[in-house]
Amino acid sequence: MANDVGASYQVARSPRKPLGLRIARAAQYGILILFALYVLVPFMWVIFTALKSNLEIAQDPLGPPPNWRFENLAQAWNQGKFSRYFVNSVIVTVPIVILVVSLSCLAGYGLARLKMPGRMLIFYFFLVGLMVPFTAIMIPLFYILRDIGVLGTYWAMILPQTAISLPFGIFFMRAFFSGLPYDLTDAAKIDGCNDFGVFRRVMLPLAGPAVAALVVFNFMGSWNAFLLPLIYLQSDKLRPVMTGMMFFTTRWGPDYSMSMAGTLIVMAPIMAVYLVFQRQFIQGLTAGAVRG
């Protein structure tokens, strides 16, 4: 590994050795392509398998489909009730993202810029929540949600998913608002803005990139959530795509082409959105690590 590292520098630094340079370049590209294949080849096989018949899979598990059976996707879509699963995912994800982002912006701003007794105490109180894993609260939450009568509705996912996402959201937005200059607030206050006006008219418009990152992060978090809907959205009517996909592939277990077609249906939209909004995805999903 270390030698290759050295080699790559040599390439950029000293163009004196043309042969060595070419070998190093080739090695560098070879390694980069190898890892690209590690990522892409499993996707290729998912697509191949999804578009073959089971007989064709048994005859040749590796090669491309002899006939590209796109009708498999339509069949999986209908058999798997995926339209309902997708609608369910949208119904729970949209309110979760709106609630998490708006509550985090409010609380993050309050904790960063407004005076109140016990401000740091409240902030640390939220921070402790970053250390509490969902598993540590998932058991009584089931009975709490049952007792307040939301089990069997979408709220059984919306409420807890919002709550467990708040500590990070508040931490993130507080860090952002703390970094904004004070001159802006003072100027707005002299112009007669109250605290909420300052927040809404001055601070929030500046928070665009941070809000975008938080939206992506929470959208992915709740869209991809699995354990939470597995416990609280057990009814097939409420099931979002992730648990829906699990039940689908379990039911169609040995029917490999059906279960891969179902998987492809679930994966394709998110991958398409990623390819279009690549930069926002990467920023949003790495936001915690890069800024923290």
Dihedral over Cα of 165, 167, 170, 173: its sign: negative
Size of the site for another protein (CB under 8 A): 104
Q: Which stretch binds another protein (CB under 8 A): 72-80, 90-98, 205-213, 242-250?
A: 242-250
Between CA 276 and CA 121, with CA 217 as vertex, the angle to 5 degrees is 155
Give residue for tokens 């057990």: 234
Binding mask 252-281 for another protein (x = CB under 8 A): ----x--xx--x--xx--xx--xx--x--x
Nearer to another protein, 12 or 19 (CB): 12
Nearer to another protein, 91 or 144 (CB): 144
Nearer to another protein, 65 or 167 (CB): 167
Half-sphere exposure for 248 (CA within 13 Å, toward CB): 29
Interaction of residue 116 with another protein, rule CB under 8 A: yes
Among 196, 201, 236, 251, binds another protein (CB under 8 A): 196
Give the shortest CB-96-to-another protein separation in angstroms: 11
Long-range residue pairs from 72-76, CB within 8 A, at least 24 positions apart, any chain: 72/257, 72/258, 72/261, 73/261, 73/264, 73/265, 75/258, 75/261, 76/50, 76/248, 76/258, 76/261, 76/262, 76/265
Among 19, 55, 120, 131, binds another protein (CB under 8 A): 131
Listed in sequence order, the residues at least 6 apart from 52 whose beta carbon sits closer than 8 Å to its beta carbon are 65, 66, 69, 72, 257
Binding mask 19-58 for another protein (x = CB under 8 A): ---------xx-xx--xx-xxxxxx-xx--x-------xx
Interaction of residue 199 with another protein, rule CB under 8 A: yes
Give the shortest CB-124-to-another protein separation in angstroms: 12
Give the shortest CB-83-to-another protein separation in angstroms: 18
| 209/222 Cα distance (integer angstroms) | 20
Among 82, 217, 223, 252, binds another protein (CB under 8 A): 223
Query: What's the token pair of residue 126?
Result: 């939220």
Q: Answer for the pair 46, 260: CB distance below 8 angstroms, yes or no.
A: yes
Give the shortest CB-267-to-another protein separation in angstroms: 5
Strands (E), 144-270: none
Give the shortest CB-71-to-another protein separation in angstroms: 20
Cα–Cα distances (Å) from 48 to 36, 124, 191, 292, in that order, read 18, 51, 64, 41
| 92/112 Cα distance (integer angstroms) | 30
Nearer to another protein, 1 or 190 (CB): 1
Nearer to another protein, 140 or 205 (CB): 140
Q: Answer for the pair 86, 241: CB distance below 8 angstroms, yes or no.
A: yes
Interaction of residue 16 with another protein, rule CB under 8 A: no
Dihedral over Cα of 129, 132, 138, 143: its sign: negative
Interaction of residue 170 with another protein, rule CB under 8 A: yes
Site for another protein in 93-112 (CB under 8 A): 99, 103-104, 106-107, 109-111
Nearer to another protein, 118 or 181 (CB): 118
Q: Which stretch binds another protein (CB under 8 A): 79-87, 121-129, 183-191, 201-209?
A: 121-129
